[in-house]
Every structure is written in structure tokens, then in C-alpha cells.
């Protein structure tokens, strides 16, 4: 299997498992990852997902040998690696050790949160191979980093340290080498413990509101969030607080 998949206490863990190729994406990996995304989207028991890589690296991007063999690493409707353009119905946390390069970095950009080892390295190296980072690098990076820094990464193709991206706000947690997965699981557990309807609606507004006119921000927000306040989960959350117990969420 090109990926590992497990679920623990509402958190799905996807492990890119081609360590001999620094977890580069070939055709089989793309198909398996696409199926994992669909499984996460469809399973109400899964509240959050973590994606990481085996063997000390996250992902070196597209497998260039597979590219030369003519393998397809883009899945219809889900894009590069089956995830770059997919609808991710649950929050995703990237746990990055080692290299996250080219398409590997673009997988990171598709995630909601990023945990990286201090020794991790990121780069959009496509221009060095006569290619372009069109699996999210060109359109997501300037939305997640200052434009000048995004331009530097895209146009030079150079590799940068995780610390620099943490300072710029792209990395949520910087941890010692070997600690990325544990911290990502901790963050995912915090998310999974919350009301699933509230998380989903909050996440939707966070994403969609970036494109809303300022004069319409609250009107649009209120239209989307109003059902949360009359939901069963809202009453359960309040009751659990009053009764000093853990809430039992229904997602409605």
C-alpha cells in the first residue's frame, strides 16, 4: 500500500508510505490518497484528519520517474495527489518532518493547520524542472504568506527552513525533530473534541469570507451561522457545561 490509514478517537491518520522515494506521489499513491479523502468526508465518526509521511520526510512532490512513465498523478475532481483540489469536509492537519517540496508543499497548503519539525524544509522547486506549481502553490501561497515571500519561493524554487515559515505565519507549531506527528495529533484531538457542526460552520466562514465584500461580512456570516444557535449540539454543549460533563455531540 502506498499510504497508511488509521482512525483513533475521531482522528484519521494518513501516512504517505513511499520512504524509498521520499514519499513522492506516483499514480497509485494519488488514487489511494483520493480514496482516503473520500472516506474521511463520508464518515461522520471522523472529525479531523492528520496527514504525514513515513521515513522522516513528508513528501518530495510528484514522482518524476512516474511522470516520465506517463503515470497520472491527478485525480479527476480532486486534483494532484487526490487532495490538492478535493473538497475536504473535515479539518486537515499536516505533520511535516524532513522535506515538503513542490507538490508535497502544495499538499501542506491544502491543509487547515501545519505542524513542522524545526529541521523540516519547504520549497516550490517546480521552476527548476521547467514546471509550475499549479497544484495550489501559485494560488494558495499568496493567500497564506506575504506576497513578496510567496513570490520568492515560487520564482526562485529555493528551499527554506520551517522556522522562516513559522515566523511568517504559515506553520502553526514548530517542534523538535521527530515530534511533528505527536503535536499534530494533539491539535487534531482538540478539534475532534469540539462540536462537529460548530467546527464545520466556523471553518466554512473562515474560508468563504476571504472573498466577501467588507460591507456584507456580518450579513453573510449570520445567515450561515444562525442554525448553529438553534441546533441540538448547542443545547448539549450548554447542558454539558452546566452539568460538568463531557458533551455528547450529534452533529445537528
Same domain, 45 and 169: yes
Query: Are 96 and 183 in a shared domain?
Result: yes
Kindly state whether residues 55 and 123 are assigned to the same domain: yes
Residue 231 lies in a domain: yes
- The pTM assigned to this predicted structure is 0.94
Please check whether residue 15 is in contact with residue 53, taking contact to mean a CB–CB distance below 8 angstroms.
yes
Range of the domain at 167: 3-192
Q: Which neighbouring-strand residues pair with 74? A: 80
Q: Domain for residue 80, yes or no? A: yes
**Which listed residue (9, 32, 87, 126) is catalytic?**
126
Alpha helices in the chain (DSSP H): 27-42, 64-68, 103-109, 137-144, 147-156, 162-167, 180-192, 196-208, 217-229, 232-242
Q: In the structure grid, which three cell numbers stand for residue 57, read together?
A: 520526510
Are residues 67 and 8 part of one domain?
A: yes
- Exactly one of 8, 32, 71, 106 is catalytic; which is it? 106
106 in active site: yes
Residue 163 lies inside a defined structural domain of this protein: yes
Give 22-74 pLDDT, tens digit per residue: 999 999 999 999 999 999 999 999 999 999 999 999 999 999 898 888 888 99
As a whole number of angstroms, the distance between CA 81 and CA 26 comes to 8
Check whether residue 228 and residue 174 sit in a common domain. Answer: no
pLDDT tens sequence across 132-176 = 999 999 999 999 999 999 999 999 999 999 999 999 999 999 999
Total domains in the chain come to 2
76 and 38 housed in the same domain: yes
Does any domain span residue 224?
yes
Does 164 lie in the same domain as 119? yes
Tens digit of pLDDT for each residue in 176-210? 999 999 999 999 999 999 999 999 999 999 999 99
Q: Is residue 250 part of a domain?
A: no
- Here the CATH number for the domain that contains residue 122 is 3.90.226.10
Give a yes or no: residue 135 inside a domain: yes
Is 249 domain-assigned? no
The residues near 215 (Cβ < 8 Å, ≥ 6 apart) are none
Helix, strand, or coil (residue 155): helix
Chain center to CA of 197: 19
* 122, 201: one domain: no
Pair 93, 209 in one domain: no
Residue with cell 473538497: 87
Among 107, 96, 87, which residue's Cα sits nearest to residue 203?
Answer: 87
The phi and psi torsions of 74 (rounded to 5 degrees) equal -115, 130
243 neighbors 233 (Cβ within 8 angstroms) = no
Shared domain for 55 and 153, answered yes or no, is yes
Regarding whether 209 and 115 lie in a shared domain, the answer is no
Amino acid at each position: 500500500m502506498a499510504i497508511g490509514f488509521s482512525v483513533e478517537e475521531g482522528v484519521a491518520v494518513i501516512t504517505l508510505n513511499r520512504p524509498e522515494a521520499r514519499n513522492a506521489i506516483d499514480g497509485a499513491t494519488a488514487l489511494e490518497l483520493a480514496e482516503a479523502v473520500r472516506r474521511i468526508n463520508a464518515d461522520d465518526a471522523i472529525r479531523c484528519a492528520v496527514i504525514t509521511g513515513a521515513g522522516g520526510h513528508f513528501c518530495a512532490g510528484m514522482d518524476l520517474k512516474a511522470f516520465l512513465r506517463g503515470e497520472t498523478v491527478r485525480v479527476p475532481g480532486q486534483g494532484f495527489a487526490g487532495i490538492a483540489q478535493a473538497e475536504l469536509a473535515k479539518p486537515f492537519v499536516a505533520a511535516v518532518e524532513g522535506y515538503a517540496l513542490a507538490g508535497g508543499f502544495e499538499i501542506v497548503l491544502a491543509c487547515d493547520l501545519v505542524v513542522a519539525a524545526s529541521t523540516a524544509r519547504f520549497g516550490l522547486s517546480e521552476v527548476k524542472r521547467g514546471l509550475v506549481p499549479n497544484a495550489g502553490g501559485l494560488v494558495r501561497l499568496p493567500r497564506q504568506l506575504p506576497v513578496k515571500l510567496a513570490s520568492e519561493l515560487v520564482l526562485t524554487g529555493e528551499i527554506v527552513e520551517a522556522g522562516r515559515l513559522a515566523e511568517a505565519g504559515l506553520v502553526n507549531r514548530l517542534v523538535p525533530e521527530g515530534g511533528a506527528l505527536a503535536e499534530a495529533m494533539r491539535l487534531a484531538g482538540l478539534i475532534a473534541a469540539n462540536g462537529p457542526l460548530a467546527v464545520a460552520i466556523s471553518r466554512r466562514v473562515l474560508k468563504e469570507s476571504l472573498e466577501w465584500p467588507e460591507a456584507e461580512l456580518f450579513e453573510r456570516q449570520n445567515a450561515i451561522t444562525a442554525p448553529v444557535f438553534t441546533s441540538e449540539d448547542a443545547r448539549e454543549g450548554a447542558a454539558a457545561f452546566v452539568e460538568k460533563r463531557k458533551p455528547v455531540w450529534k452533529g445537528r
